[in-house]
C-alpha cells in the first residue's frame, strides 16, 4: 500500500468531519464523487448533491457539533479503496441554554475511487451503534 494514498484517504475522511462541524458544505465536493451513494439508517441518496441536502436537513438547524473519526482502516486495490472508521458525533441544541444534546456512536464504511482530482467516496454506508440524548436538536434551519 502506498502510504501517500492511505494518508490522502484518511485526510478525505477527516475533511468530511471538518465540513460538517464548520458547515463548509463546499468541502464535501472534495469528499464525495458526483454520483456517490450515501446510506445512513433509513436515508439513501444517489448523488453528492442529494447527500449534502440530506446532511444539511439535519445540521442546518442544529447548534455546534463535533464529529470525531477514529481507528481508520484503509485497503487499497489499484484505483479502488475501502475504508472503515468509527464515528462519535456530538450535537448541541441551537439554543445552547436548553442543555439538550444528541450524541451518536457508529461507523462509516466507504468505497472510494481514484479520480483526476484525487480520491473520492463513491459509496458510504453509515451505521449507528447507539445514541444518547434527543434527536430533536437535529433539523433543517
The helix/strand count (H/E) of the chain reads as 2, 6
Q: How many domains does the chain have?
A: 1
**Residue 47 lies in domain:** 3-137
Closest-CA residue to 105 (of 82, 136, 133): 133
Q: What backbone phi and psi angles, to 5 degrees, belong to 58?
A: -100, -35
Question: For position 141, what pLDDT does the model report?
Answer: 79
Q: What backbone phi and psi angles, to 5 degrees, belong to 13?
A: -65, -40
Share of the chain above pLDDT 90, in %: 95
Question: What does the pLDDT average to over 24-49?
Answer: 97
Cell numbers for 136, please give them. 430533536
Share of the chain above pLDDT 70, in %: 99
Instruction: Indicate which CATH number applies to the domain containing 113.
Output: 3.10.450.50
- Residue 1, pLDDT > 90, answer no
**β-sheet bridge partners, residue 80:** 77, 113
Cell numbers for 102, please give them. 444528541
Amino acid at each position: 500500500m502506498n502510504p501517500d494514498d492511505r494518508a490522502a484517504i484518511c485526510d478525505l475522511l477527516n475533511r468530511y468531519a471538518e465540513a460538517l462541524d464548520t458547515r463548509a458544505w463546499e468541502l464535501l465536493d472534495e469528499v464525495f464523487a458526483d454520483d456517490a451513494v450515501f446510506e445512513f439508517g433509513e436515508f439513501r441518496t444517489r448523488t453528492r448533491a442529494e447527500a449534502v441536502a440530506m446532511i444539511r436537513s439535519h445540521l442546518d438547524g442544529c447548534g455546534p457539533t463535533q464529529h470525531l473519526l477514529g481507528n481508520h482502516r484503509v485497503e487499497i486495490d489499484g484505483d479502488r479503496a475501502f475504508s472503515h472508521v468509527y464515528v462519535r458525533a456530538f450535537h448541541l441544541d441551537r439554543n445552547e441554554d436548553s442543555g439538550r444534546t444528541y450524541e451518536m456512536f457508529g461507523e462509516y464504511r466507504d468505497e472510494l475511487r481514484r479520480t483526476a482530482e484525487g480520491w473520492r467516496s463513491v459509496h458510504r454506508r453509515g451505521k449507528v451503534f447507539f445514541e444518547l440524548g434527543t434527536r430533536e436538536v437535529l433539523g433543517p434551519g
